[in-house]
Amino acid sequence: MKKTLTILLIVFISIIFSVVYGISHDFVTSKISPEFYTKLTFFNFGILDDYARKFDGNWTFALVWVGFFSTWWFGLLTGLILGIVGMKYGDGKQILNKTMKSILIVIGIVILFGVVGYGIAELNPSEIITNYDFPFEIEHKTDFNKVVKIHNYSYFGGVVGLIIGTLNQIKNWW
């Protein structure tokens, strides 16, 4: 029973960390390209229902909404995987301590990859919009592409971080 409660706590904490990251990430990247949100993301999350309509809603609420719903699932996945792998440690306190270290590794790697994505976008800015089939024109293409790159690198960092965090859990078995 104690292990089950520990796993639930780990999942809850992982979701909270993931959501805080997602909301913070969206607040930062929305400063780089508001157009990424008003012409794409808000539409994808049901905040806007028409590409041609100008966004006149609550910007903060919209970013919190998007940040939450775009990341909670990854926190759930991370918490479940790392928590289950961590069950080998014995008691609840050991499981929690070792797994929290791995969760912090995941978050650190996600942040690192996002920063790397930003750096690459800064070093290689692009006005070319490729592989986008949007029913609207993007006005600030370089900034839009920069945020796309940051988002893509962050998701990739999440996968890499989860792998490294899991390997960290396994390494601690011995």
Q: Tokens 């990341």 identify what position?
A: 71
pLDDT at 2: 81
Q: Mind listing the pLDDT tens digit for each residue in 6-27?
A: 899 999 999 999 999 999 999 9
End-to-end CA distance of the chain: 24
Report the mean per-residue pLDDT for the chain: 89
3-state secondary structure of 33: coil
Nearest to 164 by CA among 124, 95, 112, 123: 112
Give the per-residue pLDDT at 14: 96
Mean pLDDT over 164-169 rounds to: 93
pLDDT, one tens digit per residue, over 26-75 is: 999 999 999 999 888 888 888 877 766 678 889 999 999 999 999 999 99
> What is d(CA 82, CA 44) in angstroms, rounded to the nearest whole number?
30
User: Dihedral sign, CA of 129, 132, 136, 138?
Assistant: negative
- Give the position of tokens 């949007």: 134
CB within 8 A of 142, min separation 6: which ones? 125, 126, 127
In this predicted model, what pLDDT tens digit does every residue of 100-147 receive, in sequence order? 999 999 999 999 999 999 999 999 887 776 666 676 778 888 999 999
Per-residue confidence (pLDDT) for residue 136, from 0 to 100: 75
Is a pLDDT exceeding 90 seen at residue 174?
no
The residue-averaged pLDDT of 85-89 equals 84
Q: Mapping DSSP to helix (H, G, I), strand (E, B) and coil, where does residue 55 land? A: coil
pLDDT at 130: 64
Q: What is the pLDDT of residue 49?
A: 77
Distance CA 3, CA 44 (A): 38
Q: What amino acid occupies position 27?
A: F
* Cut 0.75: pTM above it: yes
